[in-house]
Amino acid sequence: MFKENIKLALKAMLGNKLRTMLSLLGIVIGVGSVITILTLGESATKSITQSIVESGLETITIFSTSPDIKAIQYEFNEDLPEKIINNVSGISTVLAVNSSKATLRNGQQSESYTVMGVPANYAGVLDYDIAEGMFFTDKDDQDARQVVVLGAATAETLFPDGGAVGSYVSIFRTQAKSYRVVGVMEEKAASFNLQFDSSVYIPYDTYIQRVQKVEIVGNYLIRTEPDVDVLEVSDNLKNYLDRLVGEGNYRVFSPSTIAEMATSVTGTLSLVLAAIAAISLLVGGIGIMNIMLVSVAERTKEIGIRKALGAPPRVIRGQFITEAVTLTLIGGIIGVIFGTGVSLLATNMLGWSLFPQYLSYLLAVGFSMLVGIFFGWYPAMKASKLDPIEALNYE
Amino acid sequence: MVWVVEPALDPVQNKEFSIMTDTVIQLDDIRRYYVMGENVVKALDGISLDIKRGEYTAIMGPSGSGKSTMMHLIGCLDTPTEGSIYIDNEDVSDLQETELAFIRNEKVGFVFQQFNLLSRISSLENVMTPLMYAGIPVKQRKEMAAAALERVGLADRMKHRPNELSGGQRQRVSVARALVNNPSIILADEPTGALDTKTGNQILKLFSDLHTEGRTVLVVTHDEKIGAHCLRQIRLCDGKLEEI
């Protein structure tokens, strides 16, 4: 009898194509938008993650969040880089860095900049090219010489007329000290965890002896080996540091944390949007209820005949619920096709890759069937309760 | 038109059918009242009668005499306000809708004045419908429905929809539908009312043949000529019986 009911439902739908189409529209749009939003949300997340990883940001930054903790004071020193390299695979270099804001002055020009105490191989490790002069050397570092290398923007402000290399600038921290400019860097775009152009660089030992006497290393810059999974390396690094200094006392800033942030933002956003779109599915359900009520009223005579032929109320109810569910199921399937089409179009235009959400297909179609049962129930009950004599005499 | 007529036997007189001369329908002082505002309309007011198996009976009376109400009660579309109705010795007076539907499906075959065929499906599917509600498998349904359509001479019209058939053909489809599940009663309500005299007579001939085959046929009509065609007449007037 189930097969007959589906056949009857299809016949009823084909018998009034325009009306069927219009009443399906709500479900189609509802399911279509849920699918589109979920698919686009996922595709956006994946594309953002991909572009973060692919843009070659193989640097990971570690900094302490609780400098007062004993473990940090004990471990965040100049020996940590070697420990990390020995314990976490896939890491080629670890640079210890300290930095703070300080005012630089050259004659009338004065401005606040980030002063970074870095090792001599800093520029080389980060593929940061020199424009003029040279980066300071290991010897400068060991002897804690007062030399400075200027970022491109810094040099531009302090020496608008050029001629920076060989000149002296003053760096004010607790007291003013004079530094000889040994080099000026090329411009380099800031990445998510490092900015280059508005910083100045001095040797690490110079920094801790003359700028800021600190017990611990502020940051470590880590460069991974080529062709390793940066996300995996940063996870391993976190595991290692959790054991060493305890979770929550430090932070690792890496492509994976950015990717996680992006994922959680787009994920939440697409869930919220999908929930709103699901409301339109309910509105579509009301459309289905409306059309089913019309259908029951129109077919009062048919219901009377079927009752006279021996159809019990349960069977009449089943017939109309089957019809409502068939209707919403077809609407759901069209909606999935429509939503996938829109997603394909949008991802093409935005240059993302399409990630179809197969689970959401099942959910959307399942949900639209539930909508059919829910909103088909009342009309079907109404049909099943019709008085057979009145229904038969209905014209 | 080729009529497939079984050997005519008078079921009441023939010994072979004596076992079938039991009571199919028994009405025991039934009353059906309708409350219309403050008035009570007594559509049927104390009717008792027996109809034996194999009888060919007309229920006659002018409009408003209660014959439609009586048809609804015998057809298990309605239940009496008072009194008892037995069909095949089973009391159906107090049954619920689902049980009544079951009785209608098993015991009653309706033939209506306006045919009341389902318009969207073929004549074969129309005749198959009562069998579907009886829970008979599809294959068997088709065979039984095809046999019933053959019986009424419509073997070549099985795939046609009702609107592709003439009035007489439609009524024969509905007769086939009425007899397909081999019911205890065939209940016809003004079966020739929407037909011209010639096709009307053909339908009456069909009923005579069904009666000859041993079926119990009950025709509700206001038409004296049709009443005369039946072997027994029951007359109703103002909800009371005046049997001759």
Model ipTM value: 0.89
Q: Given the DSSP bridges, would you call strands A109-118 and B108-111 parallel, antiparallel or unpaired?
A: unpaired
Q: Among residues of chain A, what percentage have pLDDT more than 90?
A: 29
Q: Taking CB atoms and an 8 Å cutoff, what residues of chain A touch B98? A: 312-314
- Is residue A128 domain-shared with residue A67, that is, in the same domain? yes
Task: Provide mean pLDDT across the span A214-239.
Answer: 83
Is A14 within 8 Å of chain B by CB?
A: no
Answer yes or no: do A63 and A42 share one domain: no
A150, part of any domain: yes
Using the 3D structure, point to which of A176, A199, A225 is the last residue of a domain. Answer: A225
Looking at the fold, whether A91 and A39 belong to one and the same domain comes out as: no
Cross-chain Cβ contact A309/B104 below 8 Å: yes
- Please give the model's pTM, rounded to 2 decimal places: 0.70
Question: Is B98 in contact with A311 (Cβ distance < 8 A)?
Answer: no
Considering its fold, how many domains does chain B have in total? Answer: 1
| Inter-helix orientation angle A17-54/A313-350, to 10° | 40
Residue A57 banded pLDDT, cuts 50, 70, 90? low
Q: Which domain holds residue A150?
A: 59-225
Q: Name the band, by pLDDT with cuts 50, 70 and 90, for residue A261.
A: confident
Q: Which of residues 349-388 of A touch B (CB under 8 A)?
A: 388
The answer on A273 and A159 residing in a single domain is no
Same domain membership, residue A74 and residue A40: no
User: Where is average pLDDT lowest: A66-70, A109-113, B178-182?
Assistant: A66-70
Which of A200-214, A328-342, A365-379, B200-214 has the lowest average pLDDT? A200-214
Chain A positions touching B105 (Cβ under 8 A) are 309-311
* Share of chain B residues as helix, strand and coil, in percent rounded to the nearest 5: 35, 25, 35
pLDDT for position A74: 80
B174 in any annotated domain = yes
- Classify strands B56-60 and B217-221 as parallel, antiparallel or unpaired: parallel
User: B44 pairs with which residues across the strands?
Assistant: B32
List chain A residues with CB under 8 Å of B130.
Answer: 309-310
Of A176, A207, A225, the one marking the end of a domain is A225
Residue A186 located in a structural domain: yes
Which CATH number belongs to the domain containing residue B67 in this structure?
Answer: 3.40.50.300
Contacts of A4 in chain B (CB under 8 A): 132
In this structure, the answer to whether residues A178 and A209 fall within a common structural domain is yes
Same domain, A188 and A98: yes
A301 touches chain B (CB under 8 A): yes
Is the pLDDT score of B15 beyond 50? no
Bridge partners, A109 (sequence order)? A106
- Inter-chain residue contact B120 with A15, CB threshold 8 Å: yes
Interface residues of B toward A, Cβ cutoff 8 Å, are 72, 75, 77-78, 97-98, 101-102, 104-106, 110, 112, 116-118, 120-121, 129-130, 132-135, 177
Q: Looking at chain A, which residue has its C-alpha nearest residue B101? A: A310
User: How many structural domains are present in chain A?
Assistant: 2
Rounded CA gap, B9 and A300, in Å?
42
Which of the two residues, A6 and B244, has the higher pLDDT score? A6
CA A151/CA A129 separation, integer angstroms: 10
Model confidence over B22-68: pLDDT tens digits? 899 999 999 999 998 889 989 999 999 999 999 999 999 988 899 99
Residue B142, in any domain of the structure: yes
Nearest to B116 among A1, A12, A305 (CB): A305
Per-residue confidence (pLDDT) for residue B11, from 0 to 100: 47
- Between CA B18 and CA B21 the distance in angstroms is 5
**Residue B154 located in a structural domain:** yes
Q: Which residue of B has its CA nearest to A14?
A: B120
Quick one: A298 and A206 in the same domain?
A: no
Same domain for A271 and A176: no
| Residue where one domain finishes, among candidates A225, A249, A274 | A225
**Distance from the B54 Cα atom to the nearest Cα atom in chain A, whole angstroms:** 22
Closest CA to A100 of A112, A85, A88, A86: A112
In this structure, are A296 and A362 located in the same domain? yes
HEC letters along chain A = CHHHHHHHHHHHHHHCHHHHHHHHHHHHHHHHHHHHHHHHHHHHHHHHHHHHHHCCCCEEEEEECCCCCHHHHHHCCCCHHHHHHHHCCCEEEEEEEEEEEEEEEECCEEEEEEEEEECCCHHHHCCCCEEEECCCCHHHHHCCCCEEEECHHHHHHHCCCCCCCCCEEEEECCCEEEEEEEEEECCCCCECCECCCCEEEEEHHHHHHHHCCCCCCCEEEEEECCCCCHHHHHHHHHHHHHHHHCCCCEEEECHHHHHHHHHHHHHHHHHHHHHHHHHHHHHHHHHHHHHHHHHHHHCHHHHHHHHHCCCCHHHHHHHHHHHHHHHHHHHHHHHHHHHHHHHHHHHHHHCCCCCCCHHHHHHHHHHHHHHHHHHHHHHHHHHHCCCHHHHHHCC
CB B101 to CB A312 under 8 A? yes
Given a cut of 80, whether residue A362 has pLDDT beyond it is: yes
B98 → closest Cβ in A1, A304, A313: A313
Q: Is the pLDDT of residue B12 over 50?
A: no
> What residue type is assigned to position A389 of the chain?
I
**pLDDT over 70 (residue A193):** no
Gap from B132 CA to chain A (nearest CA, Å): 7
**CA–CA dist A322, A270 (Å, integer):** 32
In Å, how far are A72, A84, A88, A263, B110 from A234, measured between CA atoms?
A: 19, 11, 9, 17, 81
User: Does any CB of chain B come closer than 8 Å to the CB of residue A392?
Assistant: yes
Bridge partners (DSSP) of residue A178 are A170
Residue range of the domain that includes B203: 55-79+96-241
The verdict on residue A237 lying in a domain is no
Give chain B positions within 8 Å (CB) of A309. Answer: 104-105, 110, 129-130, 133, 177
From CA A174, how far away is CA A197, in angstroms rounded? 24
Which residues does B60 contact at the CB level (< 8 Å), separation at least 6? B67, B220, B221, B222, B224, B227, B233, B234, B235, B236
| Domain annotation covers residue B156 | yes
Q: Which of A1, A315, A389 sits opposite B72 (nearest CB)?
A: A389
* Per-residue pLDDT at B6: 44
Shortest Cα–Cα distance, A361 to chain B (Å): 34
Residue B73: inside a domain? yes
Task: Give A320→chain B minimum CA distance, Å.
Answer: 15
Average pLDDT along chain B: 88
- The answer to whether position B207 is within a domain reads yes
Q: Does residue A39 sit in the same domain as residue A118?
A: no
For residue A55, the model assigns a pLDDT of 53
**Of residues A71 and B96, more confidently modeled:** B96
Of B104, B132, B135, the CB nearest to A308: B104
Lowest-confidence pick of A238-252, B169-183, B211-225: A238-252
Whether residue A87 is found in the same domain as residue A176: yes
